[in-house]
């Protein structure tokens, strides 16, 4: 059920956020969604949100062990707790753990708002059909993310092997621990420039912490901060928009 609002305003959709992976980017989600809702609704409006913030140390242990069945159970239970708290749509506030999107979606009866769909929405606005992926190694090297983008007619290019290792290292040794280094920013910008030379019309910062390190003022190439793009799409859902109508191509369930 939707959260009723006073007066004649339409009810908002309660969002369920599975966050804490890491908490640094979950803060970005919470702030951005509420900023958009406040701007659009006015007054004292804020977004109705059921948040489950996981212990990233536990999730990271599953990633290192490549035990995605175990992490899928963790995320699925978190999504169920969101729904029990009133959520009418859920989201996984991280790129990599969308490996578990099918498990999460199977565990709840409400829609899952997929982060790659948010990238596709932003790519449509930018008018690009080839996007560079900058994220953790599974996001860059496996097909779960690229295939989701392909449903929207978007091709991807990724960094070379050595650069993929370095991008991944910076994510887990620095960004998810709140560490921002100028030398790492410089390396990321060099990799972004290389992706542009290889045909990327934009680069998706496909780890939700990368936007803390590099931003639109750092490069002429359009950047898609996936945390912000995902939060913007979630805000639209919160405000009552039909999810399929927002996407370049309706994709149904995972």
Catalytic residues: 94, 207
The vertex-115 CA angle with 204 and 113, nearest 5°, equals 160
CB 119 within 8 A of CB 224: yes
Task: Output the DSSP codes for 106-150.
Answer: HH-SSPB--HHHHHHHHHHHHT-SEEEEEE-HHHHHSSHHHHHHH
CB 205 within 8 A of CB 169: no
Residue 156 pairs in a beta bridge with: 131
Neighbouring residues of 150: CB distance < 8 A, sequence distance ≥ 6: none
Residue 90 pairs in a beta bridge with: 16, 112
Of 51, 48, 41, 40, whose CA–CA distance to 18 is shortest?
51
Of 226, 50, 39, 74, whose CA–CA distance to 149 is shortest?
226
Residue 239 pairs in a beta bridge with: none
């Amino acid at each position: 059920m939707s959260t009723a609002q006073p007066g004649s305003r339409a009810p908002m959709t309660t969002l369920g956020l599975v966050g804490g992976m890491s908490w640094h980017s979950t803060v970005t989600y919470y702030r951005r969604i509420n900023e958009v809702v406040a701007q659009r609704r006015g007054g004292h409006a804020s977004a109705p949100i059921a948040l489950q913030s996981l212990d990233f140390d536990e999730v990271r242990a599953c990633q290192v062990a490549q035990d995605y069945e175990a992490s899928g159970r963790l995320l699925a239970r978190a999504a169920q707790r969101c729904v029990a708290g009133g959520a009418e749509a859920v989201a996984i506030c991280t790129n990599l753990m969308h490996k578990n999107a099918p498990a999460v979606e199977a565990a709840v009866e409400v829609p899952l708002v997929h982060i790659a769909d948010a990238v596709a929405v932003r790519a449509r606005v930018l008018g690009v059909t080839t996007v560079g992926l900058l994220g953790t190694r599974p996001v860059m090297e496996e097909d779960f993310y690229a295939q989701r983008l392909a449903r929207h007619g978007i091709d991807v290019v990724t960094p070379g092997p050595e650069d993929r290792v370095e991008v991944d290292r910076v994510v887990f040794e620095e960004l998810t621990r709140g560490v921002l280094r100028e030398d790492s920013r410089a390396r990321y910008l060099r990799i972004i420039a290389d992706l542009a030379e290889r045909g990327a019309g934009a680069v998706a910062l496909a780890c939700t912490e990368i936007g803390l390190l590099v931003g639109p003022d750092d490069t002429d190439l359009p950047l898609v901060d996936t945390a912000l793009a995902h939060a913007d799409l979630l805000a639209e859902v919160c405000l009552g928009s039909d999810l399929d109508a927002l996407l370049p191509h309706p994709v149904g369930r995972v």
